[in-house]
Amino acid sequence: MVQQPMSPQSSSNQAEQLEKMYLPRSSESENLRKIRHTASHVMAMAVQKLFPKAQVTIGPWIDNGFYYDFDSPEPFTDKDLKAIQKEMVKIINRKIPVIREEVSREEAESRIKKINEPYKLEILQDIKSEPITIYHLANEWWDLCAGPHVENTADLNPKAIELESVAGAYWRGDETKAQLQRIYATAWETPEQLAEYKRRKEEAQRRDHRKLGKELGLFVFSDLVGPGLPLWTPKGTLLRTLLQDFLQQEQLKRGYLPVVTPHIGRVDLFKVSGHWQKYKEDLFPMMAEDEKAAADEQGFVLKAMNCPFHIQIYKSELHSYRELPIRFAEFGTVYRYEQSGELGGLTRVRGFTQDDAHIFVTPEQLETEFLNVVDLILSVIKSLKLDQNFKARLSFRDPASDKYIGSDEAWNKAESAIRSAVETLGMEHFEGIGEAAFYGPKLDFIVKDALDREWQLGTVQVDYNLPERFDLEYVAEDGSRKRPVMIHRAPFGSLERLIGILIEEYAGDFPLWLAPVQARLLPVSDEFLPFAKEVAAKMQALGIRAEVDLSGDRLGKLIRNAEKQKIPVMAVVGAKEVESNSLSIRTRASGELGSIPVDEVMDKMKQAIANFENF
């Protein structure tokens, strides 16, 4: 099961960036792609006019804009960005034609050497097709590029382009190579689109899970522990546990069997599965007992996926067809060596916990079990209030790629099973060619959050190949030995990534059932502490997560602190409340509700929690 693709993902990776430069994205208009691509060239031209010693590397368009990487002896400052943008305006207003030229590889190499641009020589080596295409801005500046571009810089609106930031990036995504400076920028067709983008960006910053996670006291990172390795505080751990318990209870109802597997395993295990051969560079370095073991690759590595371990549990005894389906489920923590530049809060980490399960079925059971898994995933998405805007992707292999294992027959059967299932459900879907796991196709659930960003959450995968590689069997009804089919599935994907998404989706305002603290009692003075503690204890006995503010602050500050911590239910306790055995209720969802008897408050909270509703 994979939460993060088991392949090099650095945004500095040269092959990936060449792909971005050469392949269009269907999600954006062709004109916008041309604008961004041309704007990146204009920016590079401006940089080299102002900083003649700066050497260019790559400058692809990306979601929302573009960037360019430079090797410059001096670091770019905010003042430099303003100067670069000013120079870009001058270039755009000159109405310079953008000219496409085709040259031979030899001619391109000769020109690059004349202007002493070593990075361009390396890029030229990566371009396999001929002729080589070059785009010129008049006769003043040029770069290797396949386009597309606008015809003239006059087609760019300087009021719809803005330089945003500078970041570090390694050449080819390799930490041993030169460190470059990456200038990020955004570009749009109109100033109004730019203004809307900036509004969305501000909203994204308000919802940033890294910021809110710190403010709400959910998780921390430590340089001493290492990047990409979150440390969960008590409140954050409670949040994880709530999600885990929610799914675990649902799984138990559906016949899943909990298992636990180690955090390390022999390299041989991953050789059999194929992960070692395909994704060795993404595994943490092998530990071997001696030099010979290291040379023979006979050591241990940190677990990067759970499926080979679950397979060993299945294989530990011979199963009858009567026992199938067998559903092994584990909240298993796995580790992958993501490059530091790719890490991002909880959504891209080096250690994460998958809500992993592997189901062993007969071929005849495959479709029914697949539909049951889809039903579970849809139920999870609905409970998390993420069902308003999602789509299903049939993630199939690219027949032209060599990254997959197994026979065409196995792949065709697996893909047919997935297609048949979604057609049976009448589910709207689209195909993603090349998005399959290396061992089998997937049905991925893509949800759109409050900021219109798309995230992959649930996934279910059909696998004929690992059962073959591990020689799995079951005893069929006629007494013969047959091969089971495996289903890999994860409704969450990973707890870390899911929590990061939920923090931003809810802007830290978790629904009542999921809030680490559901109710906070606010005594207006120490005189009313005993009553507040008594009520909190009654709530806790009913499973309501309640606490008492013991700070002794004035009521206004008590309320402000509870609001800042985004506590769903605030209960003010004063003389009137003690006398009437009631609470003055204020909620984030509905505002002031007035005085309500204690028992009624608890009953309503229990009902709302059970129904995944707010109070």
Joined together, the tokens standing for residue 344 give 């991002």
Q: Is there a contact between 438 and 278 (Cβ–Cβ < 8 Å)?
A: yes
Q: Which residues lie closer than 8 Å to 555 by C-beta, 6 or more apart?
A: 522, 524, 572
Q: Which residues lie closer than 8 Å to 150 by C-beta, 6 or more apart?
A: 31, 34, 35, 38, 98, 156
Choosing from 37, 488, 586, 588, which is the catalytic residue? 488
**C-alpha triplet 455, 459, 465: angle, nearest 5°:** 135
Token pair 């004035």 is found at 554
Joined together, the tokens standing for residue 155 give 């087609």
CA distances from 401 to 13, 419, 435, 436 (A): 19, 21, 11, 11
Choosing from 143, 182, 235, 307, which is the catalytic residue? 307
- What DSSP letter does each residue of 256-290 carry, written as one string? -EE----SEEEHHHHHHHTHHHHHGGGSPPPB-SS
SS3 520: strand
Terminal C-alpha separation, the chain: 37
Cα separation, 238 vs 243, in Å, equals: 9
- What DSSP letter does each residue of 384-399 carry, written as one string? TT--SSEEEEEEE--T
Q: Which of 452, 562, 572, 480 is nearest to 523 (CA)?
A: 572
Residue 488 is among the residues annotated as catalytic for this protein: yes
Choosing from 4, 339, 354, 365, which is the catalytic residue? 354
Residue 336 is among the residues annotated as catalytic for this protein: yes
- What DSSP letter does each residue of 129-186 carry, written as one string? SSSEEEEEETTTEEEE------SBGGGS-GGGEEEEEEEEEEGGG-TTS-EEEEEEEE
Residue 354 is among the residues annotated as catalytic for this protein: yes
Choosing from 282, 356, 444, 449, which is the catalytic residue? 356
Cα separation, 571 vs 574, in Å, equals: 10
φ, ψ (nearest 5 deg) of residue 182: -105, 120
Q: Annotated catalytic sites, by residue?
A: 307, 336, 354, 356, 358, 442, 488
